[in-house]
Structure 1
Amino acid sequence: MESIQPTIPQNNPAAIVEELRTEIDDAIRRVLYSGRYILGEEVEAFEEEWANWCGVEHAIGCASGTDGLELILRALDLPAGARVLAPSHTAVATIAAIVRAGCRPFLADVDEASFTLSPDSAVRCLEAATAEGDPIQALIAVHLYGQPCDLDMIQDLCNARGIPLIEDGSQAHGARWRGKRVGGFGVAAAFSLYPTKNLGALGDAGVVTTNDSRMTKRMKQLRQYGWQLPAISEEPGINSRLDPMQAAILRVKLSHLEEQNSRRQTVAKSYIKQLMTQDKVILPQDGTNLAGSVFHQFVVKLPERKRDAVRTQLKDLGIGTMVHYPQAAHQMPAYRNKPWVGLDPAGLSITEKLLPQILSLPMGPHLKIHEAKRVSECLTNTLIDLKT
């Protein structure tokens, strides 16, 4: 009788919690009996440790990565309705933060190899907005799937036009560009600490990094109702504090992040080795050879008319997959055909080409090499069965 293979989920944050259970339990007890449940020493310790890990001067804990982007945009004092450039192919939280900050998104295309912001598209957007007399006033570079953007090109673009560069590192905790960890290349960077991230809390959480002392002070004020003195608002702010309980858990997980990222990279190497001869599977690529991905996701491209059938068959075989993302921001009802949303004048053809092709295979530090091999074998056999 044929044995039933265990299911391989696309991600499994609970496995990491189980692996670190003793340390996490100790951290929870420490906070539980501390009597301090809002901000305080635990949050400050995490902020210092994360800043040091990223190689920056300051970190500001907040309630989510979305809030982090909003705090950055508000701290920049951009004029009301300022245009902010971002890729349309991103977690929609990036775009939601722009709107929440009172700004207007201008959506660019992505690079076909890396899935990150296309510098050529960014140039077209910047030039088009300037020609309209309504120039772009900030740029958000999203390091997608663990892969850094082409920061050389994007920094040059921002410097040439005198606009601030903001990094969205929510999927790139520990990723490197030219050997340097992301988070310190622009005026500030926002990181989501959602449970499935490379560094994930046990609930919503976020953190901002910056080398700017003034922005740090301002964002700490904005995250807590605009207070400078307790209960006295100097300006309208929000409630976006990082909980001490989450900070304590994150400190535990941060101490293991480098090793866990290395395990992700080992899984990615296994996938590449097993799938590199499959001409119907296009593997993730770094078009510059300068980026160090931490493989938040391992995203392949498949023949678009077969992608959904492949997903279904893999599910039947016990292999979990996801699509990151089924729609780009410019296709979503909230932003589609809205006069206040700018678009690359040449269109977003690469983004629209990628969406029906992309598939996220199982990925995470919990994944064993024999499981990655099984995923590769099932994908290969499925493509043969479907006669792609």
Structure 2
Amino acid sequence: MNQHMRPEPVAFIDIGAQRRRLGSKIDDAVSRVLTHCQFINGPEVTQLEADLAAFCGAKHVVACASGTDALLMVLMAQGVGPGDAVICPSFTFCATGEVVALTGATPVFVDVDEATFNIDIVSLKVGIGTARKLGLKVKAVIPVDLFGQSADHDAIGKVAKSEGLFVLDDAAQAFGATYKGRRLGTFGLATATSFFPAKPLGCFGDGGAIFTDDADLAERLRSVRVHGQGSEKYDNVRLGLTARLDTMQAAILIEKLKIFEDEIAARNRVASRYSDTLGDIVTVPNVTAGNTSVWAQYTIRLPNSAKRDVFADALKAQGIPTAIYYPKSMHQQTAYKHYPVAEGGLPVSEKLSQDVISLPMHAYLDPAAQDRVIKAVCDAVS
């Protein structure tokens, strides 16, 4: 097949299809903001916070400027800083560990479970011991609900309680998923999520939110969100950020949230079709019984013989894009190499970084496109 005959590429994540579905609803929502001109902390922000709380069952929601700010604000509100350690999985997007380093605290990287890609409980315990041996005060653990599936929050909560840590759940990729029948947003002290456009629930720019049942924390977060202000605008009582979600993004998210459950169901249909047809050819994602995933990514592992770059090129030739999350785990990256890792190393994270690859996944991937992806994977592996 020559260059000019290449098939039209399948969209890896199709924001355009969703935009067409929502049509004038988005235009009208943005237009209302343009009319009232309350671009910062306008009425839509408060409305969105209430809608999100109703959706996931959290008592308090604080919308903010990004998923990274969501994590950072909680650490700041909790007074995490130099001399403290926060335990993070290494196989994750850099923001998880980055926010810890930004407070002056030390991220201590631990390994993940090979089946779920989420934090490994044994490694978590080892990491806590490693941090203490280094003379650090272990303050918190940031489990990640990776690729759309919840981490094991009961087991994490148990370790955290016995060790005196708070849990900050990084649900940047998994808002909308459930753990043992409960939606994410109510586990640990607080949950952070991201509304980056490619996320299952995304806005048209950067955005994020924090969920908590702790009223005092919610109040501190609202202060951190605006330069640490106190009861008077110019009496700043703590260090803070400019971390507000702008009103326009809130207006867009209100409309998107209305179709979110329907989209989650569609993502699950795509995922089951992939898993049913590809399960014998590659290692397909493992969703723990009792959990649901929102499939932010559909990440497979290739059989030992398959070279990942050759596989990616073969799919690309068929118009099928792929992506690698994450070619380097955090403890292997230049900015984070010098931070401690759990004693005994992180072999699973390192192994996953070598053989994972993600396939197109979104709510608008029609059966014909799914067929193309499935056929391309089968051809490339055989």
Scaled to the shorter chain, the TM-score interval is over 0.9
**Percent of aligned positions that are identical:** 35
Paired with 2:166 and 2:205, the residues of 1 have a C-alpha distance of 30
Paired with 1:231 and 1:134, the residues of 2 have a C-alpha distance of 35
- Could you report, residue by residue, the CA deviation over 1:69-88 in whole angstroms, capped at 9, with x for unpaired residues? 01000111235331000101
Paired with 1:369 and 1:120, the residues of 2 have a C-alpha distance of 41
Matched, 1:311 2:309: no
Paired with 1:190 and 1:81, the residues of 2 have a C-alpha distance of 24
Q: CA RMSD in A?
A: 1.5
Q: 1:346 maps to which residue?
A: 344
Q: 2:187 maps to which residue?
A: 185
Runs of 4+ in 1 over 6 A off after TM superposition: none
Give the drift of 1:4: 5.8
Give the drift of 1:226: 1.1
Q: 1:273 maps to which residue?
A: 276
Residues 332, 79 of structure 1: alpha-carbon distance in 2 compared, 3 angstrom cutoff:
closer
Matched, 1:232 2:230: no
Name the aligned partner's letter for residue 153 of structure 1: A
Moved more, 104-113 or 289-298: 289-298
Paired with 2:133 and 2:177, the residues of 1 have a C-alpha distance of 35
Residues 4, 343 of structure 1: alpha-carbon distance in 2 compared, 3 angstrom cutoff:
closer
Q: 1:118 maps to which residue?
A: 120
- Could you report, residue by residue, the CA deviation over 1:159-182 in whole angstroms, capped at 9, with x for unpaired residues? 111110110010001111000011
TM-score (norm 1): 0.94
Structure 2: stretches of 5+ with no match in the other structure: none
- Could you report, residue by residue, the CA deviation over 1:38-63 in whole angstroms, capped at 9, with x for unpaired residues? 11211011011111111010000111
Paired with 1:118 and 1:290, the residues of 2 have a C-alpha distance of 18
Aligned residues: 378
Paired with 1:245 and 1:34, the residues of 2 have a C-alpha distance of 11
Contact 1:111 1:118 survives alignment (8 Å): yes
Paired with 1:50 and 1:44, the residues of 2 have a C-alpha distance of 10
Tell me the SS of whatever aligns to 2:193: strand
Q: 1:13 maps to which residue?
A: 15
TM-score (norm 2): 0.96
Q: 2:201 maps to which residue?
A: 199
Tell me the SS of whatever aligns to 1:60: strand
Matched, 1:332 2:333: yes
Tell me the SS of whatever aligns to 2:141: strand
Paired with 1:361 and 1:79, the residues of 2 have a C-alpha distance of 39
Give the drift of 1:370: 2.2
Paired with 1:169 and 1:369, the residues of 2 have a C-alpha distance of 29
Structure 1 residues 30-179: aligned runs within 5 Å: 30-179=32-181
Contact 1:99 1:105 survives alignment (8 Å): yes
Name the aligned partner's letter for residue 60 of structure 2: H
- Could you report, residue by residue, the CA deviation over 1:93-117 in whole angstroms, capped at 9, with x for unpaired residues? 1111111222210001000000011
Paired with 1:184 and 1:238, the residues of 2 have a C-alpha distance of 24
Name the aligned partner's letter for residue 36 of structure 2: S
Tell me the SS of whatever aligns to 1:203: coil
Name the aligned partner's letter for residue 347 of structure 1: G
Give the drift of 1:132: 3.7
Q: 1:244 maps to which residue?
A: 247
Matched, 1:356 2:357: no
Paired with 2:122 and 2:215, the residues of 1 have a C-alpha distance of 33
Residues 90, 222 of structure 1: alpha-carbon distance in 2 compared, 3 angstrom cutoff:
same
Name the aligned partner's letter for residue 361 of structure 1: L
Name the aligned partner's letter for residue 155 of structure 1: G
Paired with 1:81 and 1:25, the residues of 2 have a C-alpha distance of 49
Tell me the SS of whatever aligns to 1:77: coil
Give the drift of 1:19: 1.6
Give the drift of 1:127: 2.1
Q: 2:291 maps to which residue?
A: 291
Give the drift of 1:22: 1.3
Name the aligned partner's letter for residue 303 of structure 1: P
